[in-house]
Amino acid sequence: TPWDKVLINLYNHYIDETPQRTKLLDVFLVFLAAVGALQFLYCVLAGNYPFNAFLSGFGATVGQFVLTISLRIQTTEANKSEFPQVSPERSFADFIVCSLILHFFCINFIN
Amino acid sequence: MAVATQGASSGINSQNTRTLLRVSILFLIAAAAVASRLFSVIRFESIIHEFDPWFNFRATKYLVANGFYKFWDWFDDRTWHPLGRVTGGTLYPGLMVTSGVIYHALRALTVPVDIRNICVLLAPAFSGLTAYAAYLLTNEMTTSSSAGLLAAAFMGITPGYISRSVAGSYDNEAIAIFLLVFTFYLWIKALKLGSMLWGALCALFYGYMVASWGGYAFITCLLPLHAFVLIGMGRFSDRLYVSYTTWYALGTLASMQIPFVGFLPVKTSEHMPALGIFGLVQLVGLLQYVRSSMSAKQFKTFVITVLVGAIGIGLAGLVGLTSLGYIAPWSGRFYSLWDTGYAKIHIPIIASVSEHQPTAWPAFFFDLNMLIWLFPAGVYLLFQDLRDEHVFVVVYALFGSYFAGVMVRLMLTLTPIVCVSAAIAASQILDTYLSAKKPNLEDVTDAGSTDAKPAKTSGLRVSSKPAVGIFTLVSKALVVGGMVVYLLMFVSHCTWVTSNAYSSPSVVLASRMPDGSQHIIDDYREAYQWLRQNTKEDAKIMSWWDYGYQIGGMADRPTLVDNNTWNNTHIATVGKAMSSSEEVSYPIMRQHEVDYVLVVFGGLLGYSGDDINKFLWMVRIAEGIWPEEVKERNFFTSRGEYRVDAEATDTMKNSLMYKMSYYNYHSLFPAGQTVDRVRGARLPDQGPVLNTIEEAYTTENWIIRIYKVKDLDNVGRDLAAAASFDRGQKKKASKKKGPRVLRVD
C-alpha cells in the first residue's frame, strides 16, 4: 500500500541521512513527547484539579519540545542558508537561555 | 590646510558623523516628545488627570508604601463597599511596578522624587522610548536611513498618541504603547534572524505588555495572523517556526504569571488563534521535514491526509470545546468590536463610555494630520517589495484601521503603524528627490538638449526620451520644498492640537474671562477635599461610577462603585437608587450603609458632563436588572422628550437624581428666572423637596453637591412624615378613625 511505502521511505531516509547528534536530540524529543502524553493522559483520567500544575508541567514539555526542535533545525546542515547569522554554538547558547526562562516561568507557575 | 579641509569634508559622510547625527536627532526627538506633553503641567500643575489614573496612582502609592508582596495580595475594602475588590488579582500591575521601580531606583541614586511626580511624568518619559522603538521597528522594514528617524519623529509628536500620554495621564497606555511597538520590533527581528534569543526577548516583552495593558490581546491575535498569512502565502520557513514557537511557548507561560490573566490563554476565544497557529506551525514544519524524504506523489497523499485530518480535528475540537463551555466565548468588550451593535443592545455599560463610540472621519485627520494620507501610500510601497516583515505591516495596517474605525479609543493602536508606514512613504519621496543622482547620459544621444530633440523614432516617443525630468534642480527643490512645508505644518498642527485639545486635566476646568485671563474652576477638588476633611474616615460615598476612582484617590473615602465596572448589578443598584423616588432609594442606601451621596451638577455653569446628562444611562443600566421597577419610558414626556423643566414627568421629578441636582437651585435666581444652562430649560419656582437626605455641601459653582443620608427617625415615623412635620405642615386633618394597622405581637 502507498502508506507502507511512505513510512518505509521516511524511516530509511531518517536512518541514512541524520547525523548522530541530531539523533540524540530526537531521542530527547521522543522522551519529551512521551512525558507530555503521559501528563495529558493523567489529566484526562484523573481530572485537572490543580490546573496550574498541569499547565506548567505540560507547558514545560511542550515548550522544551519546540525549543529542542528549534535547536535541531538550527544545527542541521541543510538549513545553514536559512540562518546565516546563527552558528551551532550560538543556537545552543540561545537554547540554554530560552530553556532557563521557560523553567523559571514553569516553576513559578506551578507554585 | 588642504589636507585638513579634505579630512573634514570626508568626515562629514563618515560613519562616526552619521552615528553622531543619528544619536543627536533621536535625543532631540525624545526631547520634543517629552516637551510637547508638558502643556498641562506648565499651565496648571503637576496632578493626575481623568478618572482611571487616579486608581493607578492610588495603587502605586500603596505599592510604594507597603512593598511588592502586600501589593500583590492587596484586598481593597475601600471600593465596591459591601463587596471589596481583590485588587492584586484584578489589575494589570505593570504600570505600578514600573513606577515603583523608578521610584526606588531614584531613591537609590539619592534623588528622592515624590511618587506623584513620577506618576505624572511617566507617560512623557515613556513616549521618548516609544519614539525610539518606532525608529527600530521602521529600520527593520526598510533600508532607507531616513525612514526610521522620520518614524521616530512622527511617533514622538503625533496627537493620536499624545492624547493618551500627556503628563498626568497616568494610564496603562502610557507604557503599553512603548511595549507594543517594542514587542513588534522584537518579533520582526526574531522572524528575520530566526533566532531563539530574539524570540525569547519578544516573549519577555510580551509578558511585560500583558502585565501592563488589556490590549495585549491585540498582539496575541496579530502575531498569529501574521504567521498565518505567511503560511498562506507559501512563505513558511524554519525561521518562522523558530521565532513563532519560541514566542508562543515562552510568551504564553509568561502571560499566565499575571493573576488577572491566569488561565485565560488556554480558556478564552481571544487566545485561540495563537494556539491554533501554534498547532498549524507544528504541522507545516512536519510536512516541510517530511517533504525532503519523499517523492512528490507520496508527499501529496501524505499532505492531504495529515493536513485535512489535523485541521479538521482542530477546528472540530475548538467548536466542540466552545459549545461545551470549556473555552469561554468572546467577552462582551471584544465581541462588540465585531458586532458593533451588540453593546448598545445588551451591555449598556460598555456603550455608555464615550470612548467606545465609532470614529468619525475628522478624528483621523485631527489625530494624524498628514500621516493619514501618507499611510496608505506607505502600505502600497511596502506591497511593492513584499518581504516577510512587510506582510506584518500590511496585516497590522488592515486590522489596526478596522479597529480604529470601530472604536475611538483604538486609534491608539493604529497610530504606531501609521507613523511607520507614513515615514516609509515620506522617506521614499525624500530619497527620490534629494539623493537621486543624475543618471549617466552617455547612452542618451545628446545630454545637453534632451527635451528639444525628438531623437530617432525607433519606438514609442516616450521610451526614446531619457528619463531625466525629475533630476533637474527645480523639480527636486519643488518636491522637497513641498514635503518640508508639509512636515513643518505637521509639527505646528501637532503642537496646536496637543496644546488645545489634549492638555486639559479634567479635574480642574479652565475658562476664559472676558479680558482673556484664565479662570480656574476647581470644584472637584474643593468637594473632595471637603469630604476628606469633614467626614469620618469610613463614611461611604455613593456616586455614579465615573467618580469612584477620584473619590477614592482624592477624598480617600470608601465608595460603592467605581470605574472598574466589574459588577454590573452593583452599578445597577446605584443606578436604581439614583433614578427612583426617595421612598425606594432610602432603603437601598440604608442597606448599603451609604453616608453621603455625591452628584455632579453643571446647570449653573453650563458644564455639560454632569449627572443629569448621564442620567439616562443610569436608568438604562438599572432597567437591565429591574425592568419592572425602573422604566426608561417614564422619564420621557408623552411626546418622547427628555425634559427637566415644569413639563418633566412625575417620575423624573421624583427621582432622587433630579431632586438632588435641583434642590434649592431656585434660590439662586429671582422668581421666574431659574435657568438650567446646560439643558437650556426654565425651571419652576418651587424646587424639589428632600425628606430622606439633607444637603451637606455644595461647591462654589454648584458643580458638586454632597448630601448626607439622614438617620432613621427617633420616634419611628417614616422620614417623609417627620420632614413634613418639621416643616410645620399639618397632617391632613383626618377624621377620627380607628387605627388602620393591626399590631402584631
At B242-264, the pLDDT tens digits run 999 999 999 999 999 999 998 99
CB atoms within 10 A of CB B418: 30
Q: What's the pLDDT at B732?
A: 58
User: In chain B, what residues touch A83 (CB-CB under 8 Å)?
Assistant: 193-195, 238-239
pLDDT value at position B708? 94
**Distance between CA atoms of residues B97 and B116, nearest Å:** 14
Mutation target vs A (from B186, B193, B196, B243; most A CBs, 10 A cutoff): B196
Neighbours of B394 (CB within 10 A): 18
- When CB atoms are compared, the residue of B250, B263, B302 closest to A98 is B250
Q: What is the mean pLDDT of residues B544-564?
A: 92
pLDDT of amino acid B8: 47
User: Higher pLDDT residue, B196 or B729?
Assistant: B196
Question: Under an 8 A CB cutoff, do A55 and B204 touch?
Answer: no
CA distances to A51, A52, A58, B147, B607 from A111, rounded to whole Å, are 11, 8, 14, 47, 52
What is the average per-residue pLDDT within B542-564? 92
Mean pLDDT of A46-74: 92
Q: Which amino acid is at B488?
A: L
What pLDDT sits at residue B485? 95
Q: Which of B701, B745, B691, B700 is nearest to B721 (CA)?
A: B691
- B352 vs B610, more confident: B610
Task: Give yes or no for residue B465 having a pLDDT over 80.
Answer: no
Select the residue of A9, A83, A98 nearest B194 (Cβ to Cβ).
A83
pLDDT band (50, 70, 90) for residue B334: confident
Task: Answer whether B197 sits within 8 Å of A59, measured CB to CB.
Answer: no
Give the pLDDT confidence score for residue B13 in this predicted structure.
66
CATH topology of domain B521-727: Rossmann fold (3.40.50)
Look at residue B705 in the predicted model and tell me its pLDDT: 94
Q: With beta carbons under 8 A apart, name residues in chain A contacting B293.
A: 9-10, 13-14, 17
Q: What is the mean pLDDT of chain B?
A: 87
User: What is the spatial distance between Cα B356 and Cα B343, in angstroms, rounded to a whole number?
Assistant: 9
CB contact under 8 A, A71 and B294: no
Q: How far is CA B641 from the centre of its chain?
A: 33
Look at residue B445 and tell me whether its pLDDT is greater than 60: no
Q: In this predicted structure, what is the pLDDT of residue B143?
A: 82
> What gap in Å lies between CA B272 and CA B293, rounded to an integer?
33
Instruction: Tell me the range of B3-17, B438-452, B727-741 where mean pLDDT is highest.
Output: B727-741
Comparison of pLDDT for B346 and B637, the residue scoring more: B637
C-alpha cell belonging to residue B393 = 505591516
Most B-contacting residue of A64, A101, A107, A108 (CB-CB within 10 A), to test interface: A101
- A97–chain B nearest CA distance, Å: 7
B101-105, B339-343, B403-407: least confidently modelled range: B339-343
pLDDT in tens, B57-71: 999 999 999 999 999
**Which of A66, A97, A99 is best to mutate for the B interface (most B CBs within 10 A)?**
A66
Q: Per-residue pLDDT for B314 more than 80?
A: yes
Alpha helices, H only, B359-448: 361-368, 371-384, 388-406, 411-430
Per-residue pLDDT for A81 more than 90?
A: no
Q: What was the pLDDT predicted at B327?
A: 80
Check: CB of residue B598 under 8 Å from CB of residue B706.
Answer: yes
- Partner B contacted by A83 (CB < 8 A): yes
Domain boundaries, chain B: 521-727
What pLDDT is attached to residue A79?
82
Residue of B189, B192, B205, B242 to mutate for A, most A C-beta atoms under 10 A: B242
The pLDDT of residue B470:
64
Contact list in B for residue A17 (CB cut-off 8 A) is 293
Q: Which of B199, B248, B294 sits opposite A9 (nearest CB)?
A: B294
Residue from B570, B532, B566 nearest B550 by CA: B532
Specify the pLDDT at position B466.
54
A-chain residues near B200 (CB < 8 A): 94, 97-98, 101
pLDDT > 90 in chain B, percent: 56
**C-alpha span between B442 and B448 (Å, rounded):** 11
Q: What is the pLDDT of residues B1-49, one digit of tens each?
A: 444 444 444 555 688 898 999 999 999 999 999 999 999 999 888 999 8
Interface size, chain A vs chain B, as Cβ–Cβ contacts under 8 Å: 108
Residues of A in contact with B203 (CB under 8 A): 101
User: Is B464's pLDDT higher than 70?
Assistant: no
Q: In this structure, is the dihedral angle defined by the CA atoms of residues B110, B115, B120 and B122, taken in order, positive or negative? A: positive
Q: How far apart are CA A92 and CA A28, in angstroms?
A: 15
Please report residues of B whose CB lies closer than 8 A to that of A102: 249-250, 253
DSSP B268: B
Q: Is A40 on the interface with B (CB under 8 A)?
A: no
Write out pLDDT tens, residues B351-377.
777 777 888 999 999 999 899 999 999
- pLDDT, residue B735, reads 58
Output the pLDDT for position B441.
57
pLDDT at residue B174, rounded to an integer: 87
SS (H, E, C) B24-56: HHHHHHHHHHHHCCCHHHHHCCCCCCCCHHHHH
Q: What is the pLDDT of residues B396-437, one digit of tens each?
A: 999 999 999 988 888 999 999 999 999 999 999 998 888 766
Bridge partners of B596, per DSSP, are B541, B708
Say if pTM beats, i.e. exceeds, 0.80.
yes
Residues B365 and B301: beta-carbon distance below 8 Å: no
User: How many beta carbons lie within 10 A of that of residue B440, not counting itself?
Assistant: 8
For B651-703, what is each residue's pLDDT tens digit? 999 999 999 999 989 888 888 788 888 888 888 888 888 989 999 999 999 99
Grid coordinates representing B336? 462588540
- Yes or no: say if B129 and B4 are a contact pair by the CB < 8 Å rule: no
Q: What gap in Å lies between CA B552 and CA B565, rounded to an integer? A: 15
What is the signed CA dihedral for A98, A101, A107, A108, rounded to 10 degrees?
-150
Residue B423: predicted pLDDT: 95
Percent of chain B with pLDDT over 70: 92
Average pLDDT over residues B162-183: 92
